Amino acid sequence: MISEEEQGKAKLIYNDFSITIASVNGSGSQTSNMTIMRALFRMGIPVSGKNLFPSNIQGLPTWFTIRVNEDGYLARKDQHDIVVAMNPGTFEQDLQGVVSGGAFFYDDSIKLAITREDVAIYPMPVKQIVRDSGAASNLRDYLANMVYVGVLACLLGIDMNTILQALDFHFKGKQKAIDLNWGVIKASADWAATNLQKSDPFMVRPSNKTDGYIMTDGNTAAAIGSLYGGMQFCGWYPITPATSLVETVNEYHPIFRKDPITGKNTCAVVQAEDELAAVGMAVGAGWSGLRAMTSTSGPGISLMTEYVGLAYFAEVPIVIWDVQRVGPSTGLPTRTSQGDLLLVYYAGHGDTRHIVLLPGSVTECFEFGWRSFDLAERLQTPVFVLSDLDFGMNQWMTSPFKYPDMPMDRGKVLWESDLERCNGQWGRYLDIDGDGIPYRTLPGNRHPAASYFTRGTGHNEYARYSEEPEVWERNMLRIKSKFETAKAIIPEPIVQLENGADISIISYGSTDQAILEAINLLGKRGYKIDYLRLRALPTTAMVAEFVRSHRRNYVVELNRDGQLNQVLRTEIPECAMQLISLAHLDGLPLSASWVVDALIAKEKNND
């Protein structure tokens, strides 16, 4: 232990550290971890939390890392400043992982050797405190995790009031549950105040940096965004990490989507027997004029691909959320990845290509939740939204949800009165506006000329079967031209420019925070770096211009083969040599230090 004297000299570090909590899956540690995070957030301190959990219900090790950063850099930190060890199975590994000068809290019933002298060590009498709380024996294991909440609160200086607020939110005001947990937390904090002496440098203090922000996860944002987009049908099948998206739809649609006139439901959710059926239902619903969606992860996309091809060719609007996890195969089902970009961009046999939206924040998950329906219905085509486990299942500090800033775009639909005006003269696949997008009618339209026969086989402008070579080619080229139309209405990238930079980072999605931090760190080391955060595919002229204007563009993404880099090289072939892949694939959320090291290594090779 560091002596009192040394501690006196040690400089305290406020609002800038990471906490890693090691526990056993299924032990209820998630409630404790969320309580700490939310309390810190309520203190005004920017905070993030990432759950590194196994594909398991109970028994395997799990880690939760919290990052506190006054400047708002909230990407995962590679370094463990504070470790809480609740799992004997990983105790030694956890102890070794603490940074020198860091802090190590552990359940004192774990009788293993403490082999570090460069770390502040805090044993916690977990069993004793829980027993003394008088809680029923069946609740004790669960409450054990509240002990570290109280101990950390005491030693880090977390405001106990904010902990109470966090408990109140978590237990939705249920007083009995709040009291039970609060009792253990309070007792633990009191115990720590009497029995532990602070010998590490990490402290928190109140701030105002979370004013105007909310804390939520990407799946919640996507679900509610979809409801604000007027989602009317969702077919789905459970799969980690997408499951909670539709579960949240189920939770919120009774609140927000009762018909204001009749009080009846304006949307339906059907849990299908598999992903083939989930997307099949969505395609059926999209075809019949509903704002239809499904939500899945990589393995589900594999199964959905046949229907996606049909929807593309038959020109049916649907929205497909892919909350990515690590593949191929079952892969690492509880870890994060950006490995599905090529899969969704080209999903389907034959000539297919799809609109892909790439939210880069939880708020954008909400925005693209509603915007995706406008694009799908306007373009009459599947629209993919590529989220990932890090967004989907972790809590993020994010801007509040903004009400959609434009009315719904229901696209080109002809109803009875429209058909009367044109005397029933229309062709389902006829491009009369020159934008590649034809008009469609919907089942239920009673005009005698309304119906048409939809098919996955070759068809002419009037939806009639055709094997004529020129008809096939003409139709496929028209469908392709919708992609050009799309470029004017899909979200443009967000660009951050440094004066005089001639190298850049291009990225998308959940890597954003690590990259912003990396650019800051690289700046301190003399690197000027521009940044383009892509928000949709296909690439637009703005992206091409950005790539062209930088000598070296580092394409940062979470997969093995640099999938976005491949897309950019294909779509901007003249700049292929200006595009360099920085791909990271270990299943963990990106850290700024990885980006810094990887980029500098490449830059050194270039010099």
Partner 1 sequence: MTDQVLSEVSRAQVNQVGLSKNDYRGNPTTLCQGCGHNSISSQIIAACYELNIVPETIIKFSGIGCSSKSPFYFLNRSFGFNGLHGRMPSLATGALFGDHTLRGLGVSGDGDTASIGMGQFKHIVRRNVPMLYIVENNGVYGLTKGQFSATADEGLMLKKQGVNPYLPVDIAWEALVGHATFVARSFAGDPKQVKELIKAGLSHRGIAVLDIISPCVTFNNQDQATHSYAWGKDHEVALHELAYVPPAEEIMVDYEDGEIKEVCLHDGSTVLLKKLDREYDPTVRSDAMRILEEANANNWLITGLIYINSEPPSLLEQYNLTDEPLNRLSEERLRPPRETIDLLNSMMF
Q: Which stretch binds partner 1 (CB under 8 A): 75-83, 442-450, 503-511, 524-532?
A: 442-450
Helix 175-195 vs helix 137-156: angle between axes, to the nearest 10 degrees? 50
* Cα–Cα distance for residue pair 352/82, rounded to 1 Å: 49
Q: Please report whether residue 9 would count as binding partner 1 according to CB under 8 A.
A: no
- Per-residue contact track with partner 1, 362 to 401, x per CB under 8 A? --------x------------------------x----xx
Per the listing, tokens 């830059």 go with 603
Cα–Cα separations (whole angstroms), residue 382 to 308, 314, 319, 346, 355: 7, 10, 6, 11, 7
Q: What is the DSSP string of 462-517?
A: TS-B---HHHHHHHHHHHHHHHHHHHTTSPPPEEE--TT--EEEEE-GGGHHHHHH
Q: Which is nearer to partner 1, 413 or 598 (CB)?
A: 413
Residues 327 to 346 in contact with partner 1, rule: CB under 8 A:
none
368 phi, psi to nearest 5 deg: -70, -20
Q: Which is nearer to partner 1, 146 or 215 (CB)?
A: 215
Closest approach of Cβ 456 to partner 1, in Å? 7
Residues 126 to 155 in contact with partner 1, rule: CB under 8 A:
none
Closest approach of Cβ 38 to partner 1, in Å? 5
Residue of 272, 344, 522, 532 that binds partner 1 (CB under 8 A): 272
Residues 485 to 524 in contact with partner 1, rule: CB under 8 A:
none
Q: Which is nearer to partner 1, 360 or 369 (CB)?
A: 369
Residue of 446, 524, 525, 604 that binds partner 1 (CB under 8 A): 446
Cα–Cα separations (whole angstroms), residue 91 to 117, 124, 127, 335, 416: 16, 14, 17, 22, 70
Q: Please report whether residue 169 would count as binding partner 1 according to CB under 8 A.
A: yes
Residues 291 to 330 in contact with partner 1, rule: CB under 8 A:
291-292, 306-307, 310, 314
Q: Please report whether residue 180 would count as binding partner 1 according to CB under 8 A.
A: no
Q: Which is nearer to partner 1, 58 or 403 (CB)?
A: 403
Task: Determine the straight-line distance between the first and last CA of the chain, rounded to whole angstroms.
Answer: 46
Cα–Cα separations (whole angstroms), residue 99 to 83, 201, 475, 559, 564: 9, 12, 62, 28, 34
How many residues sit close enough to partner 1 to count as binding (CB under 8 A)? 79
Q: How many CB atoms lie within 10 A of CB 204?
A: 24
Q: Which is nearer to partner 1, 224 or 356 (CB)?
A: 224
Q: Which is nearer to partner 1, 22 or 166 (CB)?
A: 166
Q: How many CA atoms lie within 13 A of 116 on its CB side?
A: 22
Residue of 44, 280, 369, 436 that binds partner 1 (CB under 8 A): 280
Closest approach of Cβ 392 to partner 1, in Å? 16
Closest approach of Cβ 442 to partner 1, in Å? 5
Closest approach of Cβ 478 to partner 1, in Å? 21
Residues contacting residue 396 through CB under 8 Å, at least 6 positions apart: 48, 74, 215, 216, 217, 218, 361, 362
Closest approach of Cβ 162 to partner 1, in Å? 11
Cα–Cα separations (whole angstroms), residue 167 to 28, 140, 156, 159, 544: 14, 17, 18, 13, 49
- Per-residue contact track with partner 1, 41 to 80, x per CB under 8 A? x---------------------------------------
Query: Quick one: tokens of 105?
Result: 């809290």
Closest approach of Cβ 282 to partner 1, in Å? 6
Q: Which is nearer to partner 1, 257 or 474 (CB)?
A: 257
Residues 530 to 589 in contact with partner 1, rule: CB under 8 A:
none
Q: Which is nearer to partner 1, 285 or 486 (CB)?
A: 285
Q: Is 266 exposed, middle or buried (0-12, 13-18, 19+ CB in 10 A)?
A: middle
Residues contacting residue 52 through CB under 8 Å, at least 6 positions apart: 62, 63, 64, 65, 335, 588
Q: Which is nearer to partner 1, 99 or 160 (CB)?
A: 160
Closest approach of Cβ 124 to partner 1, in Å? 27
Q: Please report whether residue 250 would count as binding partner 1 according to CB under 8 A.
A: no
Q: Please report whether residue 472 would count as binding partner 1 according to CB under 8 A.
A: no
Please say whether the beta carbons of 242 and 300 come within 8 A: yes
3-class secondary structure, 299: helix
Closest approach of Cβ 71 to partner 1, in Å? 21
Q: Please report whether residue 350 would count as binding partner 1 according to CB under 8 A.
A: no
Residue of 193, 451, 502, 586 that binds partner 1 (CB under 8 A): 451
Element (H, E) at 69: strand 61-69
Which among 535, 460, 465, 458 is positioned nearest to 494, based on CA atoms? Answer: 535
Please say whether the beta carbons of 543 and 560 come within 8 A: no
Per the listing, tokens 């105790």 go with 91
Residues 207 to 236 in contact with partner 1, rule: CB under 8 A:
214-216, 220, 224, 227-230, 232-233, 235
Query: Quick one: tokens of 114?
Result: 């403490």
Q: Please report whether residue 171 would count as binding partner 1 according to CB under 8 A.
A: no
Which among 11, 38, 29 is positioned nearest to 395, based on CA atoms? Answer: 38
Q: How many CA atoms lie within 13 A of 421 on its CB side?
A: 5
Residue of 443, 480, 551, 560 that binds partner 1 (CB under 8 A): 443
Q: Please report whether residue 444 would count as binding partner 1 according to CB under 8 A.
A: yes
Residue of 173, 456, 468, 586 that binds partner 1 (CB under 8 A): 456
Fill in the DSSP letter of residue 588.
Answer: S
Q: Which is nearer to partner 1, 1 or 442 (CB)?
A: 442
Q: Which is nearer to partner 1, 363 or 591 (CB)?
A: 363
Q: Please report whether residue 206 would count as binding partner 1 according to CB under 8 A.
A: no
Residue of 46, 49, 61, 289 that binds partner 1 (CB under 8 A): 289
Q: Which stretch binds partner 1 (CB under 8 A): 51-59, 84-92, 438-446, 500-508?
A: 438-446
Closest approach of Cβ 185 to partner 1, in Å? 18
Please say whether the beta carbons of 210 and 39 come within 8 A: no
Q: Which is nearer to partner 1, 77 or 291 (CB)?
A: 291
Which among 84, 89, 119, 85 is positioned nearest to 102, based on CA atoms? Answer: 119
Q: Please report whether residue 287 would count as binding partner 1 according to CB under 8 A.
A: yes
Cα–Cα separations (whole angstroms), residue 507 to 358, 368, 486, 512, 536: 10, 18, 21, 7, 11
Residue of 249, 278, 347, 555 that binds partner 1 (CB under 8 A): 278
